[in-house]
Structure 1
């Protein structure tokens, strides 16, 4: 552990991180990495200050002046499309005395005015107005030197906007690596791309950000019990082992992971998530490679998590109890840490821009019914996450080590057509072990 200690200077490596480094390859993860103030302080410095974080989708701000407020840790950014059409992320902090200059979560504005002393900025961040400028600051005051601070890095891939607090960070493309192939299964499904189904839902959960994303990067196993009521109500498949069928894939050295779920042999399921025939035809022509189409047409449920805290989920569900046919829904979500053992879930409903209007409405209903603050699956998950985080922060509980040994002996799938390392079953913790390898690399490297 000397390397980790040297990297952090005088700071000693937290005990939980030492235990994680010692036990990970055996599939042993200490409860103490969840809901721990010292570990979270390291995460702020070593993970979130250096990683690409999802901020929003370009369709949220389609016109000049459109803006939304978004966050990386405790940094608030105005994600805004300027009058020149360019998208920027500006720190919501007046350069004079530090007050927030944007008082709404979303809107349209050509300028932002600080309510403290009235300094006024164009939506490109340029300072253009200083009350009593000559009297207060004299001749020669250089407003051009006092504009809003832009985020160090902002990049876009297929309409998804990511920010990074580290000016020396690798490019977004390098950060994604082979995960871009899997992201394109969703973003390239239509030549028109995606759009948001309204503003995101936001809700606070007393849990750890890592615990939340685990469900979306690897844990099909929890569906057997956590969502048992959905099975009993006929909302989820009667075959409780349905979630095991498919592939689990991770990108070595990156921390990203995907689950591609098909169905049991002989299952009567529609191809290509159940999307309408017209959308299937467009997708077949839109995908960059034939291999992506071959994977997509056999997929019924798809999950992807990009390190550190962005997940997407694309299942097929009935939008309401009267509608006879399951409809695919797509959600993006950010597990935004507010502190140790506390997160804000930011959850978007998404759909293809060129989808039929009836389909967009059904997809929206499906999303609201199952995910978001009132979603049935979401409520199942968040209750569990809350109790696990509470136990992990307890005096005795934090001393325990959790079992992440599932699937250690499962052979890889040599015939998987996509990038990364694939396993022909979703009942494995390999994606989680890969996630924590990358986590340790950044925390201790």
Structure 2
């Protein structure tokens, strides 16, 4: 057993004690293994259907660090194709998004249709007489599925279907995205920015690190970016929805407590909310929810909350999707989408967009708070002395086996998963790392 394999084999035991080795956030070997064993196996988010509404619309997205063309083909089906010409492997797309009838390689001119089929090449009947073009199309992702307009792809033909992969997390996605006819759509284009921090730290934080909001984000309450009092905000639930997938709710004990309902969305929007296909329990949780944050393993997170970037404007309900894309050891690219319910008046869409970008965009109020600790964690993860002494990080808040904290398991919660209250608890993050270790140990 190699040194790396031995170290990885110890991590599940560390997690049982609420511990995580510090080196996991800045190790080139681990980064390579994540690309080879995790991102080639898991279901990864690649975009929203509303970003490619017309036939021929395409966008370039990454799975791990590999570029893929996500395109709506001439028949209206969504395809996910490796952005590599089959002749020499040249990237085909020189734009991040657009509309086209074909993809042409800039090197030798091999040309593919929107289904990924090879349809031509210069002098093909002379230079490649006898070539079976059907064998030389673009390489597709092994599986592609959508849920509520969210497009997921897996590169593993043996991966379980997306619904099985999501498990109990599907119940919570239904709760958030199933409130209105027509669903949601992306507003504008996703912002992107690069950070010298490991991608797992973002996924970890959004799995349910509510504890940091009490201290790191205190100034956000001081300036009125959010109005729910910090201690009240900690009331609610942590949900280990399924292996790797977690969600956290700040939720009122009483829906008539005077605080925000339906994540603070404007009454003009919530008037269209209806139970529909949701259960009565799902609809009741949505009504009582003030903030909802979560991570769909491995690297898609979401935030539903009433926020404002300017105290001159009252906080407004919004939904932001975030993806933590690996961009080398100890480095990530953050993608941030803003979504609105279809039919939302333009003024409310614009207000939600400005509030989202002003709080969680590249220069957002919350973003500036978060990114410095995340970069610091990554730098210290590479510490020679930390590695020498085997530094381990503490994830023991609410660890019932160790008797630390004051959370309790909630047995009458209507949704699936292990549910704990209040939100002083780090098991949601342990849940993420257990699934991560599962993949890296080759157990996918």
Q: TM tier, shorter chain?
A: over 0.9
1:203 aligns with 2:193: yes
Instruction: Check conservation: 1:68, 1:79, Cα contact below 8 A.
Output: yes
Instruction: Report the alpha carbon displacement of residue 216 of structure 1 after superposing the two structures with TM.
Output: 0.6
Instruction: Report the alpha carbon displacement of residue 369 of structure 1 after superposing the two structures with TM.
Output: 1.0
Instruction: Check conservation: 1:194, 1:352, Cα contact below 8 A.
Output: yes
Residue pairs, 1:22-171, within 5 angstroms? 22-138=13-129, 140-171=130-161
Instruction: Check conservation: 2:264, 2:305, Cα contact below 8 A.
Output: no
Instruction: Check conservation: 2:308, 2:356, Cα contact below 8 A.
Output: no
1:395 aligns with 2:414: no
Instruction: Report the alpha carbon displacement of residue 187 of structure 1 after superposing the two structures with TM.
Output: 1.4
Q: Which residue of 1 aligns with 2:276?
A: 286
Instruction: Report the alpha carbon displacement of residue 15 of structure 1 after superposing the two structures with TM.
Output: 5.2
Instruction: Check conservation: 1:331, 1:347, Cα contact below 8 A.
Output: yes
Instruction: Report the alpha carbon displacement of residue 280 of structure 1 after superposing the two structures with TM.
Output: 2.6
Partners of 1:281 and 1:419 in 2: CA distance: 28
Of 338, 345, 354, 1:349 maps to 338
Q: Which residue of 1 aligns with 2:368?
A: 379
Instruction: Check conservation: 1:14, 1:39, Cα contact below 8 A.
Output: no
Q: Which residue of 2 aligns with 1:405?
A: 396
Instruction: Report the alpha carbon displacement of residue 430 of structure 1 after superposing the two structures with TM.
Output: 1.1
Of 166, 169, 173, 1:179 maps to 169
| 3-state secondary structure, aligned to 1:396 | helix
Instruction: Report the alpha carbon displacement of residue 21 of structure 1 after superposing the two structures with TM.
Output: 2.5
Q: Which residue of 1 aligns with 2:403?
A: none
Question: Is the alpha carbon distance of 1:417 and 1:264 closer, same or farther for their aligned partners in structure 2, counting shifts above 3 Å?
Answer: closer
Partners of 2:229 and 2:182 in 1: CA distance: 36
Query: Deviation per CA, 1:275-307, whole angstroms, max 9, x where unpaired?
Result: 233433432233521111010000010012111
1:335 aligns with 2:324: yes
Instruction: Report the alpha carbon displacement of residue 19 of structure 1 after superposing the two structures with TM.
Output: 4.1
Instruction: Report the alpha carbon displacement of residue 257 of structure 1 after superposing the two structures with TM.
Output: 0.2
Partners of 1:79 and 1:238 in 2: CA distance: 39
Instruction: Report the alpha carbon displacement of residue 67 of structure 1 after superposing the two structures with TM.
Output: 0.5
Query: Deviation per CA, 1:319-377, whole angstroms, max 9, x where unpaired?
Result: 53322x32111111111111221111111111111222222111111111101212110
Question: Is the alpha carbon distance of 1:147 and 1:269 closer, same or farther for their aligned partners in structure 2, counting shifts above 3 Å?
Answer: same
Q: List structure 1 segments (4+ residues) > 6 angstroms apart after TM superposition.
A: none
Structure 2 portions without partners, runs of 5+: 401-406
Partners of 2:283 and 2:162 in 1: CA distance: 24
Partners of 1:357 and 1:338 in 2: CA distance: 35
Structure 1 portions without partners, runs of 5+: 6-10
Of 432, 436, 444, 1:435 maps to 432
Q: How many residues align?
A: 433
Residue pairs, 1:187-198, within 5 angstroms? 187-198=177-188
